[in-house]
Structure 1
Amino acid sequence: MSDPGRIPDVLEHAQRLPRGGIYVLRHFGREDILSDLPELERIVHERQGLFLASWMSGLVSCKHLDGFHFPERHQACAARLRARGDKRFFTVSAHSPGAVRKTLSLHPGAVIVSTAFSSQSPTATRPLGPWRLACLQSKFKVPVYALGGITPVTLKRLNGLGLSGAAGVSSF
């Protein structure tokens, strides 16, 4: 996941995407970043990944994206797209078990649950920890990815818990 406040060069950042991963361009409304969409698409697809952008209504017809990432506050937008028959892949953020439950009717490709571990991110909330994340994965039967405080050490704490994976801004 990108973050224009923490990742100044999204093209270089995307080069580090693990093969088969999902790259989420979080633009926070900065339209200047959108000029990189064609090159980001090329980089991500070379790595056999999926290229998503944070929700922005102006991107609905963008040909460079494989889908969208919906922050928790934009779940209603995801619901409207699904109601119109949009079948594209998308992910949704959730910051609590209740928020994960609300995403199920949206049929997301994955739910990115934050905050997994203690994090210095300005949007970090109280950490859920590995066991609560694992419970979410088993209870809701939707792919759950951990976000927040992901490091080589914390990533090892997620091994064997049944999570679908981990997401990060500066962790890869």
Structure 2
Amino acid sequence: MMRKVIAITNRHLVHRDYWDQLEQIVSSPVESLILREKDLTEDEYVNYARKALQLCNLRGKQCVLHNFGRVAVRLHIPHFQCSLDYLKTHTSISYYMATLGVSVHTPEEAHEAEKLGATYVIAGHVFPTPSKAAYEPIGVPTVKEICKAVSVPVYALGGVNPSTVEKLNNIPVKGVALMSGLMKSNDISSYVTSLQG
């Protein structure tokens, strides 16, 4: 079965026009786009969300908002990604969401996220990655344990690229989520295809 690929945005990593990059990403075989720009103000994020939603709708891709739960509810975008801490303090968010992704690092966190309404979890960071250089990666064995701990789909995040993705071959992850590889790539479709396995 082909691995699904979730794209996560970070406008600080893009070398050319951000919206051009996003358009190329949603035109590629990715499953969904998580709009992660969490250093924006809420008002700025609303504008980004509207534009990202438009791009995703044109290409039939899911637009997932991140961190700004009120914006997701206000714009009627029923797809949201958040941390477990956020979900614990905003438990009602699950009522508004058709899909709710939660970032987890251990099987226990994954189990708790599922109990609180997560429809999928993103496990990370799996491999060493520059954006999390100060933290120890959770490693492939932990991802395997997380897959066992939940009945919802699990996506692997962190240091995933065409050379590390093969290490996930025998693990029942639904797919991978990544940021820098897609934000910096000039040939997005080929890059995504190389991750699908």
For the criterion TM > 0.5, the same-fold answer is yes
Give the Å deviation of 1:103.
0.2
CA distance in 2: counterparts of 1:57 and 1:142, whole angstroms: 21
Report the counterpart of residue 170 of structure 1 in structure 2.
180
Report the counterpart of residue 13 of structure 1 in structure 2.
21
- Whether 1:42 aligns to 2:49 is no
CA distance in 1: counterparts of 2:146 and 2:87, whole angstroms: 18
- Contact conserved, 1:20 with 1:48, CA < 8 A, in 2? no
Give the 5 Å matches for 1:144-163.
144-163=154-173
Report the counterpart of residue 69 of structure 1 in structure 2.
81
- The alignment partner of 2:92 has SS state of helix
TM-superposition CA deviations, 1:28-70 (whole Å, max 9, x none): 140334323233112222332211111224302113x342111
- Whether 1:55 aligns to 2:75 is no
- Whether 1:28 aligns to 2:26 is no
What fraction of aligned residue pairs are identical, expressed as a percent?
20
Aligned residue pairs: how many?
Answer: 169
Report the counterpart of residue 185 of structure 2 in structure 1.
none
Of the structure 1 ranges 1-10 and 87-96, higher mean CA displacement relative to structure 2 is found in: 1-10
Structure 1 residue corresponding to 2:122, chosen from 102, 112, 126: 112
User: What TM-score comes out, normalization by structure 2 length?
Assistant: 0.74
User: What TM-score comes out, normalization by structure 1 length?
Assistant: 0.84
- Judging by fraction of residues, say which structure has more helix: 2
Alpha carbons of 1:28 and 1:71: their partners in 2 closer, same or farther (altered >3 Å)? same
RMSD: 2.3
- Where structure 2 has 5 or more consecutive residues not aligned to the other structure, the ranges are 1-7, 183-197
CA distance in 2: counterparts of 1:77 and 1:10, whole angstroms: 32
- Which structure would you say has the larger RCO, counting Cα contacts within 8 Å and 6 or more residues apart? 2
Report the counterpart of residue 3 of structure 1 in structure 2.
10
